Amino acid sequence: MKIEISEFVEGAGRAEGLAVIIDVFRAFSVECYAADAGASQIIATSAVEEAFRLRERYPGALLVGEREEKKVPGFDFGNSPTEILKGNIEGRTIIHTTTAGTQGLINAVKAEHVITGSFVNAAAIVRYIKHINPDKVFLVAMGYRAEESAEEDLLCARLIASRLEGTTPASSREIMDLRNTSGKRFFNRQNIDFSPPTDFFLCTMTDRFDFILKAVKRTDGNMTMIKTEI
């Protein structure tokens, strides 16, 4: 098994074999919390306009996502696990679009298998990869706004890689130290309305969920996220 760590949309586009599209803060943490809370389906899309179009097709669907980290006007929730936990989403369709994570899913066109990556289901991701045993694994760290390297995404990629290779993984202390680097924005009072401190802790609860989310391409070019227990 060859493991490669890459970044951004370009890295997603190069991914072959199995692609793990990683967005810790916060896209794929949000999707895990939504799936665990009983969402009937999650549809990932790259464009805000497409999200609104999909809501017309799925009456009662909830729009979730962000641009510039903030909830898109007209959406039901921002890209916040805290908001998801407070909301009543059981049995609802979630339509999700973000600046980084969902862009990676849509652009991973060469990969045979595409799944999401985050700390909250890292152990399940490793079990799934070992189960299907692909020749190539691309761990794609989507970064901050898909433009800047993000410590949390790269740390998550290294955690998954080390567990696959049987080497020493990132420690809980390293993960908590993100509070002083890429995660410090969650503790800025100016961001509390759209990026509260609880989001940091919810996104760094390593191995909370025992399922993975598979991205399956739809005929309309978007992705349906399939919750699979591992």
Domains of the chain: 2-125+135-229 (3.90.1560.10)
Tokens for 39?
Answer: 């969402």
21 Cα distance to chain centroid: 7
From residue 95, how far is each of 192, 208, 211, 228 by CA, in Å? Answer: 24, 23, 20, 19
- In total, the chain counts a number of residues equal to 230
In angstroms, rounded to a whole number, what is the distance separating the alpha carbons of residues 155 and 170? 7
**pLDDT tens figures, 58-85:** 999 999 999 999 999 999 999 999 999 9
Tokens for 199?
Answer: 């989001």
94 Cα distance to chain centroid: 14
pLDDT of residue 170: 82
In three state form, how does the secondary structure of 202-227 look? HHCCCCCCCEEEEEEECCCCCEEEEE
Helix (H) or strand (E) holding 160: helix 151-165
CA dihedral 18, 209, 92, 129 (to 10 degrees): 10
pLDDT of residue 169: 85
Low-confidence ranges of the chain (pLDDT < 50): none
Question: What angle, 0 to 180 degrees and rounded to 10, lies between the N-to-C axes of helices 122-132 and 151-165?
Answer: 50
Q: What global pTM score does this model have? A: 0.97
Q: Cβ–Cβ contacts within 10 Å for residue 57, how many?
A: 11
Residue 18's contacts (CB-CB under 8 Å, 6 or more residues apart) are 111, 112, 113, 114, 115, 129, 132, 134, 136, 137, 138
Contacts 24+ apart (CB under 8 A), 34-37: 34/64, 34/84, 34/89, 34/94, 34/96, 35/209, 35/211, 35/213, 35/225, 35/227, 36/209, 36/211, 37/84, 37/85, 37/87, 37/89, 37/90
